[in-house]
């Protein structure tokens, strides 16, 4: 019984090299699974993990792509470049996101000790449907109280 408890505890926490930083726990509008996010208020957050003491973020770099493959191949739709900022919560970016779209993103940071993280693992989110529902017609069933909808797009986020 003790062995199982130790295994569960040890898998929850990651070990970080003393001279390394990394970024994880990416969120959009405070959500890990952020789907249907309003275009007027998209904010990004992340956490810095390190084995170092007194570490603060001094800059961040965020990239976005429409697909995981484009993100991995560095075919970005938006690249913020390095932004001088200590903020890692409720961060806004200078990109105008579109309605009803799936986006993949990564972030990396620099710290006050001169360390630069690798790009984080990818994370995805989708934006609000917006006016897409205006063009979809319902099919009313004669046999009951339910509706079928024809939908032109399907958004799938593979994590």
**Which of 48-52, 84-88, 91-95 has the weakest average pLDDT?**
48-52
CATH number, domain of 39, equals 2.60.40.10
Q: Domain range for residue 27?
A: 14-149
Q: What is the pLDDT of residue 130?
A: 80
Is 30 within the bounds of a domain? Answer: yes
Q: What is the pLDDT of residue 41?
A: 87
Neighbours of 14 (CB within 10 A): 10
Is 93 within the bounds of a domain? Answer: yes
What's the chain's average pLDDT? 82
Tell me the per-residue pLDDT of 30-59, one tens digit each, with 9 for 90 and over: 999 999 999 998 999 999 999 989 999 999
Q: Which two tokens stand for residue 14?
A: 């990651």
Q: Is 37 strand, coil or helix? A: strand
Terminal-residue alpha carbon distance, the chain: 32
Q: For 57-121, give the DSSP string.
A: EEEEEEEEESSHHHHHTT--SEE---EE----SSB--S--PPTT-EEEEEEEEEETTS-BPPPPP
Domain count, the chain: 1
Tell me the per-residue pLDDT of 116-148, one tens digit each, with 9 for 90 and over: 999 999 999 999 988 766 655 555 555 555 555
Is 154 within the bounds of a domain? Answer: no
Is 49 within the bounds of a domain? Answer: yes
């Amino acid at each position: 019984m003790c062995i199982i408890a130790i295994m569960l505890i040890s898998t929850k926490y990651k070990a970080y090299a003393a001279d390394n930083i990394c970024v994880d726990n990416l969120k959009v509008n405070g959500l890990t699974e952020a789907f249907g996010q309003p275009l007027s208020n998209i904010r990004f957050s992340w956490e810095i993990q390190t084995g170092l003491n007194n570490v603060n973020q001094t800059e961040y770099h965020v990239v976005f792509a429409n697909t995981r493959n484009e993100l991995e191949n560095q075919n970005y739709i938006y690249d913020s470049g390095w932004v001088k900022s200590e903020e890692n919560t409720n961060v806004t970016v200078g990109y105008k996101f579109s309605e009803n779209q799936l986006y993949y993103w990564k972030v990396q940071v620099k710290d006050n000790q001169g360390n630069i993280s690798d790009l984080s693992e990818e994370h995805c989110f989708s934006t609000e449907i917006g006016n897409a529902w205006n063009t979809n017609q319902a099919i009313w069933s004669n046999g009951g109280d339910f509706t079928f909808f024809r939908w032109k797009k399907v958004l799938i986020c593979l994590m």
